[in-house]
Amino acid sequence: MKTGSNKKARIKKIAVLTSGGDAPGMNACIRAVVRTGINYDLEVFGVLRGFEGMIEDEFVLMNASSVANIIHRGGTMLKTARSKSFMTKAGMLAAKENLEYHSIDGVIAIGGDGTFRGAVEFGKICSVPFIGCPGTIDNDLFGTDFTIGYDTAINTVAEAVDRIRDTAESHGRVFFVEVMGRDAGLIALRSGIASGAEAILIPETPTKLDELIEHLSKGRKDKSSKIVIIAEGDEAGGAFTIAGKVKKKIPSLDIRVTVLGHIQRGGNPSAMDRVNASRIGFASVEALLHGKKNVMTGIVDKKIAFTPFQKAVKHILKPDETLLRMIDILAK
């Protein structure tokens, strides 16, 4: 059954793409965009490999069946890329030409801050409206409580750390586990709390190695294992560097290091990511039809919210003091 109407809108053809690092839930978002577009009698094109495909003219007409059986799958069926060509004038002009050739009236771009920064630059030479959907495991965008992929990623980390805890406990070892997040510590923060980590090191708070060393040497005597979660962007260095410094100061510690890497980006999206991605994709198509442009669709306090791209990319995490205090108390 058709719902809503597209009578007033001049939008007839839209394109959807995924760009930057893939994130679980991107497929659920693509599905929502395609099926919502079809509901409003739009022609929906998928652009392969993000902005790279826009430059290389990789536009594929989609229908309801194109997005069957993908809501539960990780990765992105449209493929993705970190396009260097899109940062050049020639690349942008080629992308503009292809949008015009296909008579695209609006673009839905699913990605992170690089994607939205690219869209802002592109907006200076091309008037086709863009709506962004926050798709990144890092959760480092302003204007949404959770980005698509973040919930799945922190669950993946928590599950991995549970496994590490089993072996750490058996051997009485200290593990330094490095997680992704680029410059942001949000993956480390939440997954660290969820896995009961003894310490969490994030770039948003100063990392004092002497305090960490004291904490690890003076902790409860009956604790046989300890887990330190380190955000990859921490200013004190990566997990190997920090572990090396700790080992020098406390040679008696039996230390191991695990860098979780790209397993954090894969896997079936959690129910929360699927629901958020569906809501965001659906709202993004309606936003285009209502004349919105150059904004990111997010969810703030359970409600859909729109934030201009320029503001969305300026995310600075102000760590919640109560949360930090709680982490210290619960790690004792």
For ligand F6P, which is the closer residue by CB, 106 or 181? Answer: 181
Nearest in space to 130 (alpha carbons), one of 264, 296, 323, 303: 296
Print the binding letters for residues 188-227 with ligand F6P: x by CB under 6 A, - otherwise. Answer: ----------------------------------------
Least Cβ distance, residue 81 to ligand F6P (angstroms): 10
Residues 8-27 that bind ligand F6P (CB under 6 A): 21
Cβ atoms within 10 Å of 236's Cβ, excluding its own = 15
Question: Residue 124: exposed, middle, or buried by beta-carbon count in 10 A (0-12, 13-18, 19+)?
Answer: exposed
Least Cβ distance, residue 203 to ligand F6P (angstroms): 12
SS3 205: coil
For ligand F6P, which is the closer residue by CB, 83 or 98? Answer: 83
Judged by CB under 6 A, which of 31, 79, 165, 265 binds ligand F6P? 265
Print the binding letters for residues 271-310 with ligand F6P: x by CB under 6 A, - otherwise. Answer: ----------------------------------------
Least Cβ distance, residue 140 to ligand F6P (angstroms): 8
Computed from CA positions of residues 93, 96, 101, 102, in that sequence, does the dihedral angle turn out positive or negative? positive
Q: List alpha helices for 57-112, DSSP H.
A: 89-101
Least Cβ distance, residue 52 to ligand F6P (angstroms): 14
- Considering the rule CB under 6 A, would residue 315 count as an interface residue with ligand F6P? no
Q: At how many degrees (to 10) do helices 89-101 and 113-123 cross?
A: 80
For ligand F6P, which is the closer residue by CB, 21 or 25? Answer: 21
What is the distance, to the nearest Å, from the Cα of residue 229 to the centroid of all Cα atoms in its chain?
Answer: 19
For ligand F6P, which is the closer residue by CB, 21 or 37? Answer: 21
CA distances from 209 to 161, 233, 235, 236, 275 (A): 22, 15, 11, 8, 40
Cβ atoms within 10 Å of 116's Cβ, excluding its own = 27
Q: What is the DSSP secondary-structure string of 274-313? A: HHHHHHHHHHHHHHHHTT--SEEEEEETTEEEEEEHHHHT
Judged by CB under 6 A, which of 58, 138, 198, 204 binds ligand F6P? 138
Judged by CB under 6 A, which of 136, 147, 278, 284 binds ligand F6P? 136
For ligand F6P, which is the closer residue by CB, 137 or 255? Answer: 137
Of 22, 105, 113, 138, the catalytic one is: 138
Cβ atoms within 10 Å of 321's Cβ, excluding its own = 8
Q: Which amino acid is at 306?
A: F
Least Cβ distance, residue 121 to ligand F6P (angstroms): 19
Residues 78-97 that bind ligand F6P (CB under 6 A): 82
Cβ atoms within 10 Å of 273's Cβ, excluding its own = 28
For ligand F6P, which is the closer residue by CB, 14 or 260? Answer: 260
- Whether 169 and 224 have beta carbons less than 8 Å apart is answered as yes
Least Cβ distance, residue 152 to ligand F6P (angstroms): 12
138 as an active site residue: the answer is yes
Judged by CB under 6 A, which of 67, 78, 180, 257 binds ligand F6P? 180
Residue 73 structure tokens: 């799958």
Judged by CB under 6 A, which of 182, 190, 279, 315 binds ligand F6P? 182
Phi, psi of 15 (to 5 degrees): -125, 145
Residue 276 structure tokens: 């958020």
Residues within the interface to ligand F6P (CB under 6 A):
21, 82, 112, 136-138, 180-182, 232, 265
Residues taking part in catalysis: 138
